[in-house]
Structure 1
């Protein structure tokens, strides 16, 4: 996600004669395509913050964001006027903490989680759910709309709201995947045929749900060990835990997500971490007496 977004942003900056993007990553070499476009690599996050007025982050886990921000909070008043924009899926409490801590030093925090897969990020067609101080949102909008994203959903000034919308979106995404996985296992054990069911899904429900089915039927749910999954199982599990804990704290349940979470955890225990979120299908196969692996997936670890 991050590399596609960053490439589009750097191309925009370059074409408008704006100072180049400064970037960093745990594996800096992953940013070589950015460097080739004229962006400036930095050894660490602190240098990126020092050399930037607007800082975008795309991280995997909440604790990674808090660690990054804690490394720069020591700069104190040097952060004044800077805008931090996090595009990750994080717990609303994490967004609230970040906004509170940065505001102590005159910096602004914007929660701007994105909807869309890596391929969508590469084409600059992501959907951003944006919340934070109005003036800061207005400042960053030109770098998002028609650059990294096709649209912005305005969630107001409460940064918790963007995080909650993103988690709500993931409830739908993962629940769709659970239901499609169940239907595809049903199609196999009854002899309907995966491709025929997939054709129906596409004709009836459109290309988005058809693409979810394809992650199952192409074997992408368990990709080769040297291939990164589209939506990593570990990240999907993290997102589901956020959703389930928030639902419980509000006295409600998400039964479909409870099943999907349990099945994905079982898949990770059985097949390791190189799995897509659609690996709930593999668990469904096991429960139906079929092998975890399909003819088109990898065949083991």
Structure 2
């Protein structure tokens, strides 16, 4: 006798979570499975999900009660801790449930979550993703997954070729996926720092931003070229009514995690130290509606240029 398909829930409908959950609900609908149940601090952000047949839940506790697998995509560790503390109020009804967090959290948070949920017979999987919101919408994210093998086997069909193009298996230690994700962000933000430095150099020497960007694309490929375009297009300081691609506040949080973990292991991340300081200066100067690439604006200021470029917004 086959087991019934799991009832799936989703919490977190920001720029990443909405695209991911829409792909999941479309898969569920196409295969006549129980509809995705969703919740969010602002429930109206799920209207597109509702239109695809998903079912709204007003409270996270209700979402947990009515789901077997619960995905979360949130911005900060504190938010996840708050949500899981609410879930723990469900008590014995948590037994057998699987929680899958797809956001970037500190490995200590992952370990705490797994320990607390295990006390009630539930499993916790860390499954942070690599890719921007456009990649999420296209269902082409890369997932780094760690957690109990049986639980991972259960959720893999909900991820592969639906929300993600590939899965990196990080084993059963839930801290490992968090560490890989933070390592990946060390690279992403460090690349952005170096490209920002080179683009400021191109301006002050008269080389030209577009010519340098053409070289970056030809030499290093489309990924690093896309990082450069966030600078040259002005997206590092988008209009105040436009959400940044990788918000400066989230990048700062990720860098804080990386720097603290490095220090606790007796090493340093000098490039990230510079990027963190420059992004903090950018946020102080230009507010929170900034992309992580706003380190470029600080670099411009340090070179005697305006923070704002011709293609960015021109102030707050």
Q: TM-score interval w.r.t. the shorter chain?
A: over 0.9
Aligned to 2:156: 141
User: Does residue 39 of structure 1 match 2:48?
Assistant: no
The TM-score with structure 2 as length reference comes to 0.95
Unaligned runs of 5+ in 2: 1-15
**Is 1:116 aligned with 2:142?**
no
1:53 Cα offset (Å)? 0.2
Which residue, out of 141, 145, 154, partners 1:126?
Answer: 141
Match of residue 5 from structure 2: none
Q: Secondary structure at the match of 2:166?
A: strand
Query: Please, which moves more after superposition, 105-114 or 37-46?
Result: 37-46
Number of corresponding residues: 301
> Is 1:187 matched up with 2:205?
no
Who is 1:28 aligned against? 43
Summarize deviations over 1:53-100 as a string: whole Å, max 9, x none: 000000000000000000110111110000000000000000000000
Q: What residue is the counterpart of 1:299 in the other structure?
A: 314
Describe the SS at the equivalent of 1:109: strand
| CA displacement, residues 34-65 of structure 1 (integer Å, 9 cap, x when unaligned) | 01000011112111111100000000000000
2:288 maps to 1:273: yes
Local SS of the residue matching 1:127: strand
> Is 1:228 aligned to 2:236, yes or no?
no
**5+ residue gaps, structure 1:** none
Contact 2:65 2:90 in 1 (8 A): no
Is 1:217 matched with 2:232? yes
Q: Distance in 1 between matches of 2:219 and 2:259?
A: 30
> Partners of 1:277 and 1:50 in 2: how far apart?
37
CA–CA distance in 2 between the matches of 1:137 and 1:152? 11
- Three-state SS of the structure 2 residue aligned to 1:94 is helix
- In structure 2, the partner of 1:248 is 263
Distance of 2:42 and 2:292 partners within structure 1 = 24
Displaced runs of 4 or more, over 6 A: none
Deviations 1:186-232 (A, max 9, x none): 00000000000000000000000000000000000000000000000
State the distance in 1 between where 2:285 and 2:156 align: 44
2:94 is the alignment partner of 1:84: no
Q: What secondary structure sits across from 1:290 in the alignment?
A: coil
2:116 alignment partner in structure 1: 101
1:287 to 293, 299, 302: 302
CA distance in 2, matches of 1:278, 1:206: 18
TM-score by length of 1: 1.00
Q: Which of residues 53, 64, 67 is equivalent to 2:68?
A: 53
Secondary structure of the 1:23 match is strand
What do you get for the CA RMSD once the two structures are aligned? 0.4
2:308–2:315 CA contact under 8 A, matched in 1: yes
